[in-house]
Amino acid sequence: MLVLGLETSCDETGVALYDTESGLVGEALHSQVNLHAVYGGVVPEIASRDHLRRLLPLIEQVLKEASVECPDAIAYTAGPGLVGALMVGAGMANGLALAWKCPIVPVHHMEGHLLAPMLEEDPPAYPFLALLVSGGHTMLVWVEELGSYSVLGTTLDDAVGEAFDKTAKLLGLGYPGGPALEKLAKKGDENAFQLPRPMVNRPGFDFSFSGLKTAVMLKVREKETDGTLDLARADIAAVFQCTVVETLLARTLKAARDQGADRIVIAGGVGANRVLRAELTARFDGTVHYPRLRFCTDNGAMIAIAGALRLADADKPDTIHAMARWSLESLDQPHG
């Protein structure tokens, strides 16, 4: 079965074609980053309009490159995300499915992220612990099997990607800040000073990043007053990144011990952070799985594979699903 995957939940238009026999057949991505950069964050109205402009040409490109006329099923991101942006993908999926007379599968965006490592050569076996870290979510999830998810911990305030973006903004870096901050941190000293490590000594697995953001803001002000901010920028980036990585690691390793996990998956945009990947791989006894860099941030391939794994849920195109909020735990195993 050939599954076309459409991702339009935020600021990337992603399209991919996944073959249940041979794997990923083709994919294309259009990033809207440049459109939103001047505003310092994603503007929902601009995002929806750009998805509308880009989606059909990307679908045509992917099908043409794979010499496929039409797929056997269409998977699309149904949430969580920006509703206007989601509606573009959902509307397109339903329209094309009507025309092509094929079924559709609504996909949960975070399930897409957590299944992205299944696109790699050595996919994780179930059960596994997943650290899902993106611009909108920070979650530790125990994955018993496909569709059986227990959220062990989540953020009480900012998502970790958001903390990267806000800190990058304070340091005068562009949007999105994660990649730029990682690059700057390489030139800094992570031991230059200390920032508070939020909640590491508290029981449970929740995270909090807003205190860290305030601490960075105070440090930036202090350096500005001293007239030494330019010299200190790289150090601030390095200390911030190290603090975030240590916080994520403390919680993740503890959850892995508690659950007796042999495998950990890191996914979501912040999963592209090389320091996070390297530190977790070095310190965890079992195996650490993560998607290739390109499939950490939003993409169509993770939606196509999630749809392929959920073909039992495929349905007629008669309802458009677009949900701003949608709990991962409310998902079920594919039932048919």
For position 77 contacting ligand KG4 by CB under 6 A, the verdict is no
Q: Would you state the structure tokens that stand for residue 213, as one six-digit string?
A: 């953001």
For position 8 contacting Zn ion by CB under 5 A, the verdict is no
| Cβ within 8 Å of residue 226, ≥6 positions away | none
Q: Would you state the structure tokens that stand for residue 291, as one six-digit string?
A: 């998607």
The angle at the Cα of 300, spanning 4 to 291, to the nearest 5 degrees, equals 125
Applying CB under 6 A, the site for ligand KG4 has a residue count of: 19
Residues 235-270 as b or e (16 or more Cβ within 10 Å = b): bbbbbbbbbbbebbbebbbbbbeebebebbbbbbbb
Q: Which residue do the tokens 């059960």 mark?
A: 127
Minimum distance of ligand KG4 from residue 10's CB (angstroms): 5
Pick between residue 94 and residue 299 the one whose CB is nearest to Zn ion: 299
For position 300 contacting ligand KG4 by CB under 6 A, the verdict is no
Q: Would you state the structure tokens that stand for residue 70, as one six-digit string?
A: 């039409």
| Contacting residue, 124, 269, 291, 317, with ligand KG4 by CB under 6 A | 269
Pick between residue 42 and residue 66 the one whose CB is nearest to ligand KG4: 42
User: By CB under 6 A, which span of 26-34, 141-149, 187-195, 268-276 interacts with ligand KG4?
Assistant: 268-276
Pick between residue 16 and residue 96 the one whose CB is nearest to ligand KG4: 16
For position 297 contacting ligand KG4 by CB under 6 A, the verdict is yes
For position 298 contacting Zn ion by CB under 5 A, the verdict is yes
Concatenating the DSSP letter of every residue in 73-97 gives EEEEEEESS-HHHHHHHHHHHHHHH
| Contacting residue, 26, 84, 161, 317, with ligand KG4 by CB under 6 A | 161
The continuous run of DSSP H or E covering 330 comes out as: none
User: By CB under 6 A, which span of 86-94, 177-185, 216-224, 250-258 interacts with ligand KG4?
Assistant: 177-185
| CB-based contact 25:71 (threshold 8 Å) | no
Given the rule CB under 5 A, which residues bind Zn ion?
Answer: 134, 298
The footprint of ligand KG4 (CB under 6 A) covers 10, 134-136, 161, 164-165, 176-179, 182, 268-270, 272-273, 297-298
